[in-house]
Amino acid sequence: MRDYAKSTGQLAKTDRIDAHVLAQFGISNGLDSRPQAPSSVAVLCSLEDVRAALIEDKKAWANRRSQALGAAMEHEAGVQIRHLEGRIKQTEKKIERHLASDALLTTRVQILAGVVGIGVRTASSLVATSHLPELGSLNCKSVARLIGVAPHACDSGE
């Protein structure tokens, strides 16, 4: 991209200029914009982010408890961990309800969960990612090329 920017005479480099150069490059090369994720995916993404944050908090309290910082800290860590476990379960139930309420999400999760080694939780996380809204609308080779991993993993050409 720097070479493209230089070829257009743009030598300065700021976030605003970089965004403009990227847009120019896309327009001049006829690149299509990525599809916007459906709003149901955005809600799922938010719920998955909450779940991930709660899990991180639980790990932090577990680490505190294991550091032998005294009886008061050990007690508080236990209280917090139990509270966070409850919140994680509540959030997982919200995720399940949200998945069940949307046919697109249900279909995508079922497809992903059909792959050996991918459970519903992992499938939900994958569907929720805002970085890959194409997931579920592209074939295996296209997704592999898009994310740049394991292009040989799609033996069937799907």
**100 and 148 in one domain?**
yes
**For the chain, what is the domain count?**
2
**Does the pLDDT at position 4 exceed 80?**
no
pLDDT of residue 52: 92
Looking up tokens 């990612």 gives 129
**4 and 47 in one domain?**
no
User: Which residue segment(s) compose the domain that 68 sits in?
Assistant: 39-153
- 104, part of any domain: yes
**47 and 26 in one domain?**
no
DSSP assignment letter at 127? H
**Does the pLDDT at position 48 exceed 70?**
yes
**18 and 65 in one domain?**
no
pLDDT of residue 78: 94
Size (the chain), residues? 158
Q: Would you place residue 88 in the very low, low, confident or very high pLDDT band (cuts 50, 70, 90)?
A: very high
- 158, part of any domain: no
**95 and 62 in one domain?**
yes
pLDDT of residue 101: 93
- Specify the pTM: 0.63
Q: Which two tokens mark 141?
A: 């080779």
- As a whole number of Å, the end-to-end CA separation of the chain is 31
Number of continuous H segments (helices) and E segments (strands) in the chain: 7, 0
Q: Would you place residue 77 in the very low, low, confident or very high pLDDT band (cuts 50, 70, 90)?
A: very high
